[in-house]
Structure 1
């Protein structure tokens, strides 16, 4: 391949990957149109918003343009055959996307009729590939539900603690707000947070759906509803009792555990275990009054392939 063409394709792919990551490390999607070496448009959104926007821009892209995607065509973003038909009608011949490691395959290429549409779907190796969104989508495929990050706050004995412990730690508060901004919905148990996230917008400047949950049944109904709407990820902020129920029922993919070191006057002295040996801490961050732990199930081989701190270094 001509070196100039290779450099152009690598640059375009890097731009589209960066754009997706800037929107969300969990559900970011981006695309780029390039015609004769000139970038016509670089656009991104969450996966939930991507289909209609991408299809409308394909129609306006112009004949002969190449289309670059941050992920391989797959059903969680949009109907692949609709994509190929629109691309063919618009005169697009090449669709480029980053090559996904074999153990992360989630697109059923044998079900895609891109050959009948005369579309060249070309995978390119790229060292900058952000696997966070890939893991989210793999989770959706295997578990038939959105990726769920759960946030809770406890004292040294594992009892529910007040998030206000961390109010003076700007990074502790901002981390939660950034995480919410990377998601497609946020659900809170009443009186859980000491600050407001209900009006948070995602990195595409779209309002994030906000829900209230009071029980495990509420959480299950919310997840079912989200699955039906093809929502791919969300964060649930709850007290430790509900967090433990969610873990027992296999509804948590990532645990963000705020440990308060502040002394409490509660009489109960029996330690409460939230995370057992099946969970492994992937990263931690120290604050003046406590620690934040990020943990994930050791048995979940999807996540063992990925450094969670890369994903959770949120914009």
Structure 2
């Protein structure tokens, strides 16, 4: 259990970080685009298609040891195989959950491609080294040994924490800008499952919130906070991401420190723009500079348009 006394110092640190980050956001505002962009429904949804490829390959390979090239090769449209994806060392329950998530992502890919059109699978970096670099960036120093997402169930769930939430807030940001009923219906259906996946991952991690992640002297809850802070820094558009444990002033109705679902003051999901999403998954803080999970950047008109301006 978390007592207020035990959590007081982390809360002060979090509050200080939030204040500093908000100041940085104001200072960076002219350089970082946080507003809407001009695009049609197809282009907006295709930004999310990049993330659906990422999730499909991560989940399928981790649970089954094989990805889209074995499960649904036609959906790849000949795009390159992902780098570094492999079977994770998961307990039986988690493996079954992640296998289900993988098959769900296959359905998402098929739905998007058949309804609005697709593109070849982008090059994806799911290597241990890439995850290790992201976790180093999150905690602010090089972890020793380097973080391995495939080592065990806890590590893997923390690695999962990095990905589905980004798609979730991207869909929330997309829906208000969609024009046709068909597009809104599609994205609403995608959002429902993506939010469910994120909730399951966060709930599984919350159950272990106070456990230390071996061999690091960092709890699961602190790791979640570090990752959420990293995504806020990379997106550069304010606080739209929170860890599993928060101070009361950030909890639902300011009455709970539990934060199994990340949400705003009215318990509504946060929203992100396409450029924010790309800054996060590239790991560079810039929609113009590829990297992270997408070494060559994303596909689709919006992602390619940003890269062409680099």
TM-score, with length taken from structure 1: 0.26
Structure with larger RCO (C-alpha < 8 A, sep 6+): 2
Whose Rg is larger?
A: 1
More strand by share: 1
